[in-house]
Amino acid sequence: MPADPRQLRHFVAVAEQPSFTKAARSLGVARTELSRSLAALQEQVGEPLVVPGEQPTRLTAAGEALLTQARSALAEPDPRGSETADDAPREQTFTVGYVPGVTLAKWSRVWSERMPTVPLRAVGVEVAEQVDALRSGRVDVCLVRLPVQREGLSVVRLYEEVPVVVVPKDHPVALFDAVGVADLADEHLLQDPDTVPEWRDVASELRTGERPTVAEELTDAQRIELVAAGLGIVVVPQSIARLHARRDLVYRPVHDVAPSPVALAWVPERNSDLVETFFGVVKGRTARSSRGADPAPAEPAPRAGRTRQPQKQAGGARGGRSGARGGARKPRRG
Whole-model pTM above 0.75?
Answer: no
Fold of 92-334: D-Maltodextrin-Binding Protein; domain 2 (3.40.190)
pLDDT in the model for residue 105: 86
In degrees and rounded to multiples of 5, residue 289 shows phi and psi of -80, 170
Cα–Cα distance for residue pair 199/185, rounded to 1 Å? 7
Task: Give ranges for CATH 3.40.190.290 in the chain.
Answer: 92-334
- In three-state secondary structure terms, 255 is coil
Cα–Cα distance for residue pair 121/16, rounded to 1 Å? 30
Helical H segments across the chain, by residue range: 5-16, 20-27, 31-45, 61-75, 82-87, 105-114, 130-135, 197-200, 204-207, 220-228, 238-243, 273-282
pLDDT in the model for residue 226: 95
pLDDT in the model for residue 164: 98
Task: Give ranges for CATH 1.10.10.10 in the chain.
Answer: 5-82
pLDDT in the model for residue 22: 78
Q: Tens of pLDDT along the chain (334 residues)?
A: 555 788 888 888 888 887 777 777 777 666 777 777 788 788 777 788 888 767 778 888 888 888 888 888 877 655 544 444 444 445 678 999 999 999 888 899 999 999 999 999 998 888 888 999 999 898 999 999 999 988 999 999 999 999 999 999 999 999 999 999 999 999 999 999 999 999 999 999 999 999 988 887 788 889 999 999 999 999 999 999 999 999 999 999 999 999 999 999 999 999 999 999 999 999 998 877 644 444 334 444 444 444 344 444 343 444 444 343 444 444 454 4
Output the CATH code of domain 5-82: 1.10.10.10
Cα–Cα distance for residue pair 247/181, rounded to 1 Å? 24
Residues in CB range of 99: below 8 A, 6 or more apart: 124, 125, 126, 127, 130, 142, 143, 144, 145, 262
On whether the CB atoms of residues 66 and 47 are closer than 8 A, the answer is no
pLDDT in the model for residue 91: 60
pLDDT in the model for residue 28: 67
